[in-house]
Amino acid sequence: MFETIKRKPKIDSYDTSGLILEDIEGYIELKDVYFRYPARPDVQIFSGFSLCVPSGATAALVGQSGSGKSTVISLLERFYDPDAGEVLIDGVNLKSFQVRWIREQIGLVSQEPILFAASIKENIAYGKEGATDEEITSAITLSNAKNFIDKLPQGLETMAGQNGTQLSGGQKQRIAIARAILKNPRILLLDEATSALDAESERVVQAALEQVMTKRTTVIVAHRLTTIRNADTIAVVHQGKIVEEG
Protein backbone atom coordinates (compact mmCIF):
# COMPACT_ATOMS: atom_id res chain seq x y z
CA MET A 1 0.00 0.00 0.00
CA PHE A 2 2.79 2.43 0.92
CA GLU A 3 4.52 1.70 -2.38
CA THR A 4 1.32 2.70 -4.17
CA ILE A 5 1.08 5.94 -2.16
CA LYS A 6 4.71 6.81 -2.91
CA ARG A 7 4.38 6.26 -6.65
CA LYS A 8 5.15 9.34 -8.70
CA PRO A 9 3.04 10.04 -11.79
CA LYS A 10 4.82 10.18 -15.14
CA ILE A 11 3.14 13.55 -15.76
CA ASP A 12 3.33 15.63 -12.57
CA SER A 13 0.81 18.49 -12.59
CA TYR A 14 2.66 20.09 -9.66
CA ASP A 15 5.99 20.22 -11.51
CA THR A 16 6.85 23.93 -11.87
CA SER A 17 9.46 23.42 -14.59
CA GLY A 18 8.63 23.99 -18.23
CA LEU A 19 7.78 26.73 -20.68
CA ILE A 20 5.30 29.51 -19.83
CA LEU A 21 4.34 31.92 -22.62
CA GLU A 22 2.47 35.22 -22.52
CA ASP A 23 -0.23 33.71 -24.72
CA ILE A 24 -0.89 31.00 -27.30
CA GLU A 25 -2.64 31.21 -30.65
CA GLY A 26 -4.05 27.70 -30.37
CA TYR A 27 -2.68 25.95 -33.47
CA ILE A 28 -2.93 22.21 -32.75
CA GLU A 29 -0.99 19.43 -34.44
CA LEU A 30 -0.69 15.73 -33.69
CA LYS A 31 2.20 14.45 -35.80
CA ASP A 32 2.70 10.74 -36.52
CA VAL A 33 1.47 9.72 -33.05
CA TYR A 34 1.75 6.16 -31.74
CA PHE A 35 -0.04 5.38 -28.50
CA ARG A 36 -1.21 2.56 -26.21
CA TYR A 37 -2.86 3.06 -22.84
CA PRO A 38 -0.53 1.94 -20.01
CA ALA A 39 -3.30 -0.25 -18.56
CA ARG A 40 -3.85 -1.95 -21.96
CA PRO A 41 -0.38 -2.27 -23.50
CA ASP A 42 -1.55 -5.01 -25.89
CA VAL A 43 -4.06 -2.69 -27.62
CA GLN A 44 -2.56 -0.27 -30.16
CA ILE A 45 -4.77 2.85 -30.25
CA PHE A 46 -2.77 5.01 -32.68
CA SER A 47 -0.22 3.94 -35.30
CA GLY A 48 0.95 7.10 -37.04
CA PHE A 49 -2.07 9.31 -36.28
CA SER A 50 -1.84 12.89 -37.59
CA LEU A 51 -4.22 15.85 -37.25
CA CYS A 52 -3.94 19.63 -37.76
CA VAL A 53 -6.39 22.21 -36.41
CA PRO A 54 -5.65 25.84 -37.35
CA SER A 55 -5.92 28.55 -34.71
CA GLY A 56 -9.54 29.61 -34.20
CA ALA A 57 -10.94 26.72 -36.25
CA THR A 58 -13.38 24.01 -35.16
CA ALA A 59 -12.55 20.38 -35.93
CA ALA A 60 -15.01 17.55 -35.29
CA LEU A 61 -13.93 13.93 -34.80
CA VAL A 62 -16.52 11.27 -35.57
CA GLY A 63 -16.38 7.49 -35.69
CA GLN A 64 -17.32 4.32 -33.88
CA SER A 65 -16.79 3.88 -30.15
CA GLY A 66 -13.23 2.77 -29.46
CA SER A 67 -11.83 4.30 -32.65
CA GLY A 68 -9.58 6.68 -30.70
CA LYS A 69 -11.55 9.95 -30.75
CA SER A 70 -11.49 10.59 -27.00
CA THR A 71 -7.82 9.57 -26.87
CA VAL A 72 -7.07 12.71 -28.90
CA ILE A 73 -8.65 14.76 -26.09
CA SER A 74 -6.61 12.92 -23.44
CA LEU A 75 -3.37 13.56 -25.34
CA LEU A 76 -4.17 17.26 -25.85
CA GLU A 77 -4.87 17.66 -22.13
CA ARG A 78 -1.61 15.80 -21.52
CA PHE A 79 -3.25 13.18 -19.34
CA TYR A 80 -0.93 10.86 -21.28
CA ASP A 81 2.14 11.27 -23.49
CA PRO A 82 2.38 9.49 -26.86
CA ASP A 83 4.73 6.50 -27.15
CA ALA A 84 6.14 8.08 -30.32
CA GLY A 85 5.39 11.13 -32.43
CA GLU A 86 4.53 14.60 -31.17
CA VAL A 87 1.60 16.61 -29.84
CA LEU A 88 2.25 20.27 -30.67
CA ILE A 89 0.59 23.57 -29.77
CA ASP A 90 1.80 26.53 -31.85
CA GLY A 91 4.64 24.29 -33.03
CA VAL A 92 5.88 23.61 -29.49
CA ASN A 93 5.90 20.05 -28.12
CA LEU A 94 3.35 19.74 -25.33
CA LYS A 95 6.04 18.17 -23.13
CA SER A 96 7.98 21.46 -23.20
CA PHE A 97 5.25 23.46 -21.44
CA GLN A 98 4.71 23.66 -17.70
CA VAL A 99 1.88 21.15 -17.19
CA ARG A 100 -0.31 23.35 -15.01
CA TRP A 101 0.10 26.39 -17.25
CA ILE A 102 -0.78 24.65 -20.51
CA ARG A 103 -3.82 23.02 -18.92
CA GLU A 104 -4.98 26.49 -17.88
CA GLN A 105 -5.04 27.41 -21.58
CA ILE A 106 -7.37 24.50 -22.35
CA GLY A 107 -11.04 24.11 -21.41
CA LEU A 108 -12.71 20.69 -21.32
CA VAL A 109 -16.42 19.88 -21.31
CA SER A 110 -17.02 16.13 -21.18
CA GLN A 111 -20.06 13.84 -21.31
CA GLU A 112 -20.17 13.54 -17.51
CA PRO A 113 -18.82 16.78 -16.00
CA ILE A 114 -17.08 16.68 -12.63
CA LEU A 115 -19.02 18.63 -10.02
CA PHE A 116 -18.11 18.91 -6.36
CA ALA A 117 -20.22 18.71 -3.19
CA ALA A 118 -20.30 22.50 -3.01
CA SER A 119 -22.53 25.37 -4.13
CA ILE A 120 -23.21 26.03 -7.81
CA LYS A 121 -21.25 29.27 -7.48
CA GLU A 122 -18.20 27.45 -6.08
CA ASN A 123 -18.39 24.84 -8.83
CA ILE A 124 -18.36 27.54 -11.52
CA ALA A 125 -15.66 29.60 -9.76
CA TYR A 126 -13.36 26.57 -9.93
CA GLY A 127 -12.73 27.59 -13.54
CA LYS A 128 -10.72 30.67 -12.57
CA GLU A 129 -8.87 31.44 -9.37
CA GLY A 130 -9.98 34.77 -7.90
CA ALA A 131 -12.95 35.20 -10.26
CA THR A 132 -15.16 38.20 -9.50
CA ASP A 133 -18.95 38.03 -9.05
CA GLU A 134 -19.33 39.98 -12.31
CA GLU A 135 -17.24 37.42 -14.22
CA ILE A 136 -19.26 34.54 -12.74
CA THR A 137 -22.56 36.26 -13.61
CA SER A 138 -21.38 36.84 -17.20
CA ALA A 139 -20.34 33.17 -17.55
CA ILE A 140 -23.73 32.02 -16.23
CA THR A 141 -25.57 34.19 -18.76
CA LEU A 142 -23.45 33.03 -21.72
CA SER A 143 -23.89 29.37 -20.74
CA ASN A 144 -27.70 29.63 -20.71
CA ALA A 145 -27.65 28.66 -17.02
CA LYS A 146 -29.15 31.86 -15.60
CA ASN A 147 -32.80 30.89 -16.04
CA PHE A 148 -32.65 27.62 -14.12
CA ILE A 149 -30.32 28.99 -11.42
CA ASP A 150 -32.65 31.96 -10.78
CA LYS A 151 -35.53 29.52 -10.20
CA LEU A 152 -33.67 27.60 -7.48
CA PRO A 153 -34.64 28.58 -3.89
CA GLN A 154 -31.05 29.46 -2.97
CA GLY A 155 -29.92 30.50 -6.43
CA LEU A 156 -26.16 30.35 -6.86
CA GLU A 157 -25.74 29.14 -3.27
CA THR A 158 -27.73 25.95 -4.02
CA MET A 159 -25.65 22.86 -3.27
CA ALA A 160 -24.91 20.82 -6.38
CA GLY A 161 -24.44 17.57 -4.45
CA GLN A 162 -21.62 15.09 -4.97
CA ASN A 163 -21.12 14.79 -8.75
CA GLY A 164 -24.12 17.08 -9.24
CA THR A 165 -26.70 14.62 -7.91
CA GLN A 166 -29.13 17.46 -7.18
CA LEU A 167 -29.14 18.61 -10.81
CA SER A 168 -30.35 17.29 -14.17
CA GLY A 169 -27.96 16.33 -16.96
CA GLY A 170 -28.61 19.54 -18.88
CA GLN A 171 -28.12 21.67 -15.77
CA LYS A 172 -24.81 19.98 -14.96
CA GLN A 173 -23.57 20.54 -18.49
CA ARG A 174 -24.46 24.24 -18.39
CA ILE A 175 -22.53 24.62 -15.12
CA ALA A 176 -19.55 22.89 -16.75
CA ILE A 177 -19.85 25.24 -19.74
CA ALA A 178 -20.06 28.27 -17.42
CA ARG A 179 -16.86 27.03 -15.76
CA ALA A 180 -15.18 26.74 -19.17
CA ILE A 181 -16.32 30.25 -20.16
CA LEU A 182 -14.96 31.65 -16.90
CA LYS A 183 -11.64 29.97 -17.60
CA ASN A 184 -11.56 31.77 -20.98
CA PRO A 185 -9.33 29.14 -22.63
CA ARG A 186 -7.66 29.57 -26.01
CA ILE A 187 -8.40 25.91 -26.81
CA LEU A 188 -11.73 24.22 -26.11
CA LEU A 189 -12.21 20.43 -26.03
CA LEU A 190 -15.74 19.01 -26.18
CA ASP A 191 -15.90 15.26 -25.53
CA GLU A 192 -19.44 13.98 -26.22
CA ALA A 193 -20.70 17.06 -24.35
CA THR A 194 -24.36 16.61 -25.37
CA SER A 195 -24.60 12.85 -25.98
CA ALA A 196 -26.42 12.04 -22.71
CA LEU A 197 -29.05 14.79 -23.02
CA ASP A 198 -32.63 14.76 -24.26
CA ALA A 199 -33.54 16.84 -27.33
CA GLU A 200 -34.60 20.00 -25.45
CA SER A 201 -31.61 19.98 -23.09
CA GLU A 202 -29.32 19.36 -26.06
CA ARG A 203 -30.76 22.38 -27.89
CA VAL A 204 -30.11 24.69 -24.93
CA VAL A 205 -26.64 23.28 -24.21
CA GLN A 206 -25.67 23.36 -27.90
CA ALA A 207 -26.63 27.04 -28.08
CA ALA A 208 -24.42 27.68 -25.05
CA LEU A 209 -21.52 25.77 -26.60
CA GLU A 210 -21.72 27.80 -29.79
CA GLN A 211 -21.28 30.94 -27.68
CA VAL A 212 -18.14 29.50 -26.10
CA MET A 213 -16.60 28.24 -29.35
CA THR A 214 -16.41 31.72 -30.89
CA LYS A 215 -12.80 32.77 -31.66
CA ARG A 216 -11.32 29.67 -30.02
CA THR A 217 -9.63 26.58 -31.40
CA THR A 218 -12.16 23.82 -30.75
CA VAL A 219 -11.95 20.04 -31.02
CA ILE A 220 -15.30 18.24 -30.84
CA VAL A 221 -15.81 14.52 -30.28
CA ALA A 222 -19.40 13.66 -31.11
CA HIS A 223 -21.89 11.27 -32.66
CA ARG A 224 -24.80 13.63 -33.26
CA LEU A 225 -25.01 15.71 -36.44
CA THR A 226 -26.44 18.68 -34.52
CA THR A 227 -23.21 18.93 -32.53
CA ILE A 228 -20.85 19.06 -35.52
CA ARG A 229 -22.85 20.81 -38.24
CA ASN A 230 -20.98 24.13 -37.79
CA ALA A 231 -17.49 22.59 -37.69
CA ASP A 232 -14.90 23.87 -40.17
CA THR A 233 -13.50 20.35 -40.61
CA ILE A 234 -14.99 16.91 -39.95
CA ALA A 235 -12.60 13.96 -39.65
CA VAL A 236 -13.73 10.34 -39.59
CA VAL A 237 -11.58 8.23 -37.24
CA HIS A 238 -11.48 4.47 -37.76
CA GLN A 239 -9.17 2.06 -35.93
CA GLY A 240 -6.86 4.86 -34.84
CA LYS A 241 -6.52 6.56 -38.23
CA ILE A 242 -8.28 9.39 -40.04
CA VAL A 243 -9.89 7.71 -43.05
CA GLU A 244 -11.85 10.71 -44.35
CA GLU A 245 -11.60 14.45 -43.81
CA GLY A 246 -13.39 17.43 -45.27
Q: Give tens-digit pLDDT for 38-94.
A: 999 999 999 999 999 999 999 999 988 888 899 999 999 999 999 999 999 999 999
The sheet carrying 28-35 orders its strands as 46-53, 28-35, 84-89, 92-93
- Whether the per-residue pLDDT at 100 is higher than 90: the answer is yes
Cα dihedral across residues 172, 178, 182, 187: positive or negative:
positive
The span from the CA of 101 to the CA of 93, in Å, is 14
pLDDT band at 5 (very low <50, low <70, confident <90, very high): low
- Whether the per-residue pLDDT at 1 is higher than 90: the answer is no
Q: For residue 5, tell me if it sits in a domain.
A: no
- Whether the per-residue pLDDT at 166 is higher than 90: the answer is no
Q: State the pairing for strand pair 46-53/28-35.
A: antiparallel
Structurally, the chain folds into a number of domains equal to: 1
Q: For residue 101, tell me if it sits in a domain.
A: yes
Q: For residue 16, tell me if it sits in a domain.
A: no
**CATH number of the CATH domain containing 150:** 3.40.50.300
pTM recorded for the entire structure: 0.89
Q: For residue 86, tell me if it sits in a domain.
A: yes
pLDDT of the residue at 217 = 96
Q: Which domain holds residue 239?
A: 26-245
Q: For residue 127, tell me if it sits in a domain.
A: yes
Q: How far apart are the first and last CA of the chain?
A: 50
Q: For residue 113, tell me if it sits in a domain.
A: yes
Q: For residue 224, tell me if it sits in a domain.
A: yes
Secondary structure letter of residue 155 according to DSSP = G
Cα dihedral across residues 44, 50, 56, 58: positive or negative:
negative
